[in-house]
Structure 1
């Protein structure tokens, strides 16, 4: 792919993610205009809005996969892996604000991939619990919901906070709020 075509594709996907998160009925024309490209450029690449939305979800899943891999959730010390994960996933959440759970209805393969990623994080939280980083009476579902909400809060309610500092705040809150008494 030519460099300008790759830049245009990246702009369309990121703009599409932002606009579709704000309004799921956003048209391809509106996305193209906001991305600074011709509507025909978008239509050449994507047959319809659903194909564009699918590409946005795949890009978000690709980014999340890289974060999960780079975090070394099974090898690194728990606090280190958690910080790496949070520091990496905050920019993913900011860059790709669409909710991948919406993809469940439209793309079973993408949903399986999302579920596999989710399971990796659940397994990590079980490891954190097993290693004494979480209180033994903390429900895994509760720990996951709290972590998700902390990441969501850092990513979207404090967008001016740099990812490393946001990760410091999230990890400190998560481990001390759920840590052993």
Structure 2
């Protein structure tokens, strides 16, 4: 364990890593078998640059998954889950998460090693989600008898389905994250039953 902490990257090195990860998301979403060389070309960096930063394709994939998980965790944080009123937090978090999941669908769909930092981040996101739902339950927005773990799973499923759009690839809501977030929260809290 006595490893030295990684030195911060120079700004230009950080930019090239970000460009590689963004290119990896685009390229691998189109062709999951794409090579490091194809990713380097799409990122506009030399093949040697990508190999210097990532020991192999697996390390690039792991870095991609971790970067996406960190962005997802930041999207949750930006919704102020602990301090904003629960419905406000749920709406903000949902809109933020839709944007991140839309941009990083391939990376966020990768199976995470249970011991990886990405998996730990996902567990923390799940925990924070249930905490917001508990706050909503305390304010009587969610039924007192509701199983919050089940509510979380339904909420995640609604987010996932909203990102798929219609069968023809279009989306009636125009993929506006705020409109979709309002629809998701409304469906989560009221289902498809008649309104009073």
| Same fold by TM-score greater than 0.5 | yes
How much has 1:85 moved relative to structure 2?
0.1
SS at match of 1:102: coil
Give the aligned partner of residue 131 of structure 1. 139
Match of 1:115 in 2: 123
TM-score normalized by the length of structure 2: 0.77
Q: Are 1:33 and 2:41 counterparts?
A: yes
Which aligned segments of 4 or more residues in structure 1 are displaced greater than 6 angstroms? none
Shift of 1:120: 1.1
Q: What is the 5 A alignment of 1:84-163?
A: 84-97=92-105, 98-99=107-108, 102-105=111-114, 107-157=115-165, 158=171, 160-163=174-177
Distance of 1:101 and 1:15 partners within structure 2? 16
Following TM superposition, by how much is the alpha carbon of 1:92 offset from its aligned partner in structure 2, in angstroms? 0.8
RCO comparison, higher one (Cα < 8 Å, 6+): 1
Q: Tell me, in whole angstroms, the C-alpha distance in 1 between the residues paired with 2:138 and 2:110.
A: 28
| 1:17 partnered with 2:25 | yes
Q: CA deviation at 1:153?
A: 2.5
How far apart, in 1, do the equivalents of 2:50 and 2:99 lie? 25
Structure whose CA Rg is larger: 2
Gaps of 5+ in 1: none
Q: Which runs of 5+ in 2 are unaligned?
A: 1-9, 166-170
C-alpha displacement at 1:113, in angstroms?
A: 2.6
Q: How many residues align?
A: 179
Q: How many angstroms does 1:124 deviate by?
A: 1.5
